[in-house]
Amino acid sequence: MSKVVKVLTVDDEATVQSILAAFLKRYLGEKGKQCEIKSLSDPVQGLFELSTNGEQYSAILLDVRLPKLTGDEIYNSLIHVNPNLLERVLFVTGYPDDLSERFPDKPLNILQKPFRYQCFTEKLDGILKFN
């Protein structure tokens, strides 16, 4: 029995959420893994989820431009609260320059919108490191 891979997505656009979920199911299915996806549209809930249950997620897909709390603010909180999660974060954004300016010293995983499945899988391979 394969281990269930838990993934958290935080994005305020329902369309993006459904694309991410479909891509994740396909990707993990191809790897012979089962997946459990928690999708949140509220970034405040996302930060709370990561603060309380972050360790259970193998990957965290995070939009940057969100209402109330941005993805880079969530990431910045993780630097202080749970730095172990940083390498599991994949930013999903149309504005990658925002991130490199904000975190010049951090090796960031960025999936630029719009994205294709091939690019998505390459980024996830780097985070999940399946052989």
- Residue 32 is given by DSSP the state T
pTM: 0.95
Nearest CA to 84 out of 55, 59, 108, 114 is that of: 55
Task: Spell out the CATH class of 4-128.
Answer: alpha beta
Rounded-to-integer distance, Cα 103 and Cα 112, Å? 16
- Residue 85 is given by DSSP the state G
Helix (H) or strand (E) holding 72: helix 71-81
Predicted confidence pLDDT, tens digits, the chain (131 residues): 458 999 999 999 999 999 999 999 999 999 999 999 999 999 999 999 999 999 999 999 999 999 999 999 999 999 999 999 999 999 999 989 889 889 999 899 999 999 999 999 999 999 998 75
Cα distances from 17 to residues 10, 38, 82, in angstroms, run 8, 10, 24
Cβ-Cβ contacts under 8 Å for 48 (sequence gap 6 or more) = none
Residue ranges per structural domain of the chain: 4-128
